[in-house]
Amino acid sequence: MSVRNSRLRTAVTTTAAVAGSAGLLAGALYVVHAESGAGGKQASLAGDAQAGRQAPAGQTAPGEAVTGQAAATAARLAHRLGDRTTGAYIDSAGRPVVTVTNEADAATVRAAGAVPKMTRRSPAELRRVTATLRSSFADIPGTGWAVDPATSKVTVWTDSSVTGARMAAVQRTARQMGTAVRMVRFPGRLHTLALGGDAIFGQGARCSLGFNVRRGRQDFFLTAGHCGNAVRNWTADAQGARPLGTTVQSSFPGNDFALVQVQRGAAGAGAVNLYNGQARDITQAAEAVVGQRVARSGSTTGVHTGRVLATNATVNFAEGTVTGMIQTNVCAEPGDSGGPLFAGTTALGLTSGGSGDCRTGGVTFFQPVTEALRAFDAQVT
């Protein structure tokens, strides 16, 4: 997001000794100093079938509205079923699929316009698996896990920092779980992406503004919690001449979100910078769904798209364990942290960190924005 006339729309960046990022699988912090700047490379916001095309300001790309409706249906049904489902996802045909354990729930899912799928393992069994993983190697940075509703398995990740005795311990626990666990190796180390969309600065740091929000009659914005832990007073420039706001609440580890009260006259609209001279209006917030097509905005790499790979992911970062994260195959780089994850006009998450880059691809984790909004009793503007 660009800052014009002291107005912020929604993304930003962070560059300082910020302490870690929620949901990330370990590795050293990816710190960038404020004076290094951010490139803001332009990228196309497009669907998989519409690569290279960009939706006009305030509009969604082809297919996004349909996918958004399917995701909303899937999320609503999964919430309704609660412990009787292992989750929901969007299949390759764009249909909402909800896992079920009995015919009565299957009928309910069909009646709501979604596809029921009998889970191969019970929700209780998968909860036992994740509990075992948590007790066995929650203290090993570079590891994490999430339930895959499409396969009824738990995917366990390790990055390249997990070797020797630690890797042996992870593999030993995974073998005990048998076919209920699938192991995945991430190349390189996962790290925080300390930077973001439109740049916000403070105390030698540069972070990303995620979404402008409102609580009562007061204006705020959301950013990453590891940024809020490090910076109290934010400005729109590295020199500190254009004050933006003050961090009033911050949560990391455990979560990765922070609330910044905006200085009078500095509040921005609820939109996301598309890095083509236009912005996407954000009108609501929702839960992400596996398989959903999403986009991320950040000052280092602009706008990039991909799909949700997992939700409610647990990641053991060097600074502590973070739960409830969104895992995606959307690329990101240092400077994109704190920026917005969205689908159409719907806010989904705040960029936390990941591995890889936007040349070779990678994995990125996001803090669900709905959790931050509930914690702060706020609404997107």
pLDDT at residue 370, rounded to an integer = 97
Rounded to whole angstroms, how far apart are CA atoms 280 and 284?
A: 12
- Per-residue pLDDT for 108 more than 70? yes
10 Å CB burial of residue 329 (0-12, 13-18, 19+) is: middle
As a whole number, mean pLDDT of residues 266-287 equals 84
As a whole number, mean pLDDT of residues 344-371 equals 91
CA atoms within 13 A on the CB side of 345: 14
Q: CATH assignment of 1-381, given 2.102.10.10, 2.60.40.1220, 2.40.10.120, 2.60.40.10?
A: 2.40.10.120
> Which of the four pLDDT bands, split at 50, 70 and 90, describes residue 47?
very low
End-to-end Cα distance, the chain: 15
pLDDT in tens, 133-168: 988 887 888 888 999 999 999 999 998 889 999 999
Question: 261 Cβ partners below 8 Å, 6+ apart?
Answer: 218, 219, 220, 245, 246, 248
Rounded to whole angstroms, how far apart are CA atoms 177 and 128?
A: 10
Phi, psi of 252 (to 5 degrees): -170, 135
Cα dihedral across residues 80, 84, 73, 373: positive or negative: positive
Global confidence as pTM: 0.77
Determine how β-strand 302-317 pairs with β-strand 293-298.
Answer: antiparallel
Strand partners, 341: 296, 349
pLDDT in tens, 285-340: 999 999 999 999 987 788 999 999 999 998 887 777 889 999 999 998 877 788 89
Rounded to whole angstroms, how far apart are CA atoms 321 and 378?
A: 25
The answer to whether 332 and 364 are in contact (CB under 8 A) is yes
The answer to whether 24 and 353 are in contact (CB under 8 A) is yes
As a whole number, mean pLDDT of residues 222-248 equals 88
Rounded to whole angstroms, how far apart are CA atoms 46 and 43?
A: 9
Q: With b meaning 16 or more CB within 10 Å and e meaning fewer, what string describes 238-272? A: beeeebbbbbeebbbbebbbbbbbbbeebbbebbb
- Which residues carry out catalysis? 226, 256, 337
Determine how β-strand 115-118 pairs with β-strand 96-100.
Answer: parallel
The answer to whether 186 and 159 are in contact (CB under 8 A) is yes
pLDDT at residue 92, rounded to an integer = 92
pLDDT in tens, 66-89: 678 999 999 999 999 999 999 999
In the chain, where are the structural domains located?
Answer: 1-381
Rounded to whole angstroms, how far apart are CA atoms 353 and 190?
A: 7
- Per-residue pLDDT for 230 more than 80? yes
pLDDT at residue 32, rounded to an integer = 35
Question: 207 Cβ partners below 8 Å, 6+ apart?
Answer: 12, 13, 14, 15, 16, 18, 194, 195, 196, 199, 200, 223, 224, 227, 231, 234, 337, 338
As a whole number, mean pLDDT of residues 206-214 equals 86
**DSSP 8-state assignment for residue 254:** B
Q: Pick the closest to residue 194 from 36, 369, 380, 7 (CA basis).
A: 36
Residue with tokens 């917030």: 285
pLDDT at residue 307, rounded to an integer = 96
Rounded to whole angstroms, how far apart are CA atoms 60 and 93?
A: 19
- Per-residue DSSP letters for 81-105? HGGG-S-EEE-TTS-EEEEESSHHH
Rounded to whole angstroms, how far apart are CA atoms 124 and 25?
A: 25
> Which of the four pLDDT bands, split at 50, 70 and 90, describes residue 198?
low
The answer to whether 45 and 55 are in contact (CB under 8 A) is yes
Name the token pair of 367.
């803090």
pLDDT at residue 128, rounded to an integer = 95
The answer to whether 1 and 10 are in contact (CB under 8 A) is yes
